[in-house]
Chain A
Amino acid sequence: MSDFDTIKKEVRALVSDITEVPEEELTDEATFTDDLGIDSMMALEIVASIEKKFKVVIPEEKIPTITSLGNVFLLLEELLGK
């Protein structure tokens, strides 16, 4: 498993933990608000947890792009330079 696959696994677990959505329902494509019922407060928690865990800073203007797990991975890939 590559480093980034491990990171993806950790992010999925973290998002599942915050949102109480089972990991198997957290597909890369499922949209946070429409498909998964994730609200803006949970999104804020997801951002803060990712920043803490991976020691990155997610710029505020990037936050609206976080609409699915796939988008989180893209952003994290960019921030971590993977």
Chain B
Amino acid sequence: MEAVWDIQKIQDTLPQKYPFLFVDRVIAINEEEKSITCLKEVSINDYFFQGHFPGNPVMPGVIIIEALAQASILLYAALRPVEAGKKPDYFLGKVDAKFFSPVRVGDQLMLEVKAEKLLSKGGIVTAEAKVDGETVTSARIVFGVKPRE
């Protein structure tokens, strides 16, 4: 899969850094549909597998939500580059989510996010995480964007 944004650009854009960075590549950005597709390679080296769970590595649902939220920030940065260029703080307002099946080591987690509404001070997106084309998590995320003082 060709990356439209590589890890360098992702690191430059997201305030989250290793080991709390859960997007490896941006696969596609569709400005007309206001959507983004990102990839997270789920690896045994991901720090949370040390404890979740020993001998039975399952990606925590909250981390899947965090990965979708990070993909949402990348979508926001792609569609609102002026605001995002000022390196604001992003914060979660509300998350409605459903989890369908576990995500395990070796899975390619596709993060698909579509904007419902984006404003200078926040946004609402619908997001899906998929493995092999199957939806493992779906969520609607409301987030805020606040300039740094």
Contacts and interface: CB of A to CB of B under 8 A. Distances in A.
Interface in A17-73: 39-41, 44-45, 47-48, 51, 60, 63
Contact of B144 (A40, A47, A48, A51): A40
Contacts of B94: 41, 45
Contacts of A45: 94, 124, 142
Contact of B124 (A40, A44, A60, A63): A44
B116 interface: yes
A40 B144 CA distance: 8
Interface string B120-139: 11111000000000000000
A74 B121 CA distance: 23
Given A41-B122, A41-B144, A47 B93 contact: no
B119 interface: yes
B9 interface: no
Contacts of B93: 39-41, 44
Given A40-B144, A41-B142, A48 B121 contact: no
A24 to B, nearest CB: 24
A48 B122 contact: no
Nearest to A44: B122
B122 A60 contact: no
Given A40-B144, A41-B94, A41-B142, A48 B120 contact: no
26 contacts: A40-B93, A40-B121, A40-B122, A40-B144, A41-B93, A41-B94, A41-B122, A41-B142, A41-B144, A44-B93, A44-B119, A44-B122, A44-B123, A44-B124, A44-B142, A44-B144, A45-B94, A45-B124, A45-B142, A47-B117, A48-B116, A48-B117, A51-B117, A60-B119, A60-B120, A63-B119
